Amino acid sequence: MTVSANPNNDHWLWGVYTNHMVTHSFGDTTFVYNRQSGTTHIFNLVSMAMIEFLSEKPRSMNEIIRDFPAYMGVDAAECPAGVVRRLFGELDEIGLLELVQS
Amino acid sequence: MVEQDNKKEFQERRRQLLRLGAAGVPMVLTLKASAAQPVHSALDCSFVIPTTSNILVDSDGRAWIGSRGVREKSGELKVSDIDKFRQQADFVFPNGSAPSKFRPDTCDTQKGWTTCYRFYEIDSNTNITPADYLNSSGNWSLTGAKGLYLALASQYIDTYGNDGGFPGISCLTSILTYLEYQ
């Protein structure tokens, strides 16, 4: 199953290109315009939470898998690794993730 | 009080989205001028499952798909392996998703081993031809791990349609659509 757009080493830290984003929220939905690509994306509460989580500080893939469930206030079983990896892959694919340190 | 209720409601909406995410539904949509999805037209299509896709099923028909292993001893599965498998799952399906014949017959847990789950293994690069599982009268005859995979894939199509990155979906959709119009 394709779950992540990129290979990941544990010492690679990932952040978000917040400068590239223009956001407008309507209730639970956020429209995100990416200045670099010129494309608009629709985010839900989970994808926005991941953006906020990675905006706090850059994190490695292992840290993201380990800590994102607690950030969301749920058990690891409710937010399994596959969900986190796919979400990471989706954000990476639209060019919003920044490899801060490799 | 109102603020607490709002917070609870907000958390529940996020939980609901996580359940959709566990079934493979995308969390980000992109606005495009046109978004045509290629669909297989051949009914004899087959597809390859690229990575190890093991399936864990509980007595309510909930199912988890993931790449981890679960140790088995005399028909009993190791509880700690099951916990890890569930936490690391790639896809999660709700109650009733796995047909009853794929569910465990008994449910007993003792000393770290349980019979409350059944475990099916599919190796990486496994090829599945859905038409192999149709009998001569055009009904599905799903057996074994690959049959279970097809059963879950068709559940997925019913709920989410031909989208979301579940391997084999467009091939299976073409067959299901064909059968529907027969």
At B21, list the tokens: 């995410």
Predicted-complex ipTM score: 0.88
Q: How does pLDDT run across B123-182, given as a tens digit for each residue?
A: 988 988 887 787 666 567 888 999 899 888 877 777 666 655 677 777 777 676 666 554
Q: How far apart are CA A102 and CA B154, in angstroms?
A: 41
Helix axes A45-56, A81-93, angle to 10 degrees: 80
Phi, psi values for residue B149, rounded to 5° = -60, -45
Identify all chain A residues contacting B53, using CB atoms and an 8 Å cutoff: 1
Tell me: pLDDT of A48 over 60. Answer: yes
Taking the Cβ of residue B35 and every Cβ of chain A, the question of whether any pair is shorter than 8 Å is answered with no
Q: Which residue type occupies A10?
A: D
| pLDDT at residue B163, rounded to an integer | 59
Q: Which residue type occupies B134?
A: L
pLDDT band (50, 70, 90) for residue A54: very high
For the residues of A51-102, what is the DSSP string, one character each?
A: HHHHHHS-B-HHHHHHHHHHHHTS-GGGS-HHHHHHHHHHHHHTT-EEEEE-
> For chain B, what are the domain ranges?
33-50+126-182, 54-121
Over residues B91-107, the mean pLDDT reads 91
pTM: 0.63
Over residues A46-74, the mean pLDDT reads 95
The three-state secondary structure class of B146 is: helix
Lowest mean pLDDT among A4-8, A49-53, B69-73: A4-8
Q: How far apart are CA B77 and CA B79, in angstroms?
A: 6
Identify all chain A residues contacting B21, using CB atoms and an 8 Å cutoff: 46, 79, 83, 86-87
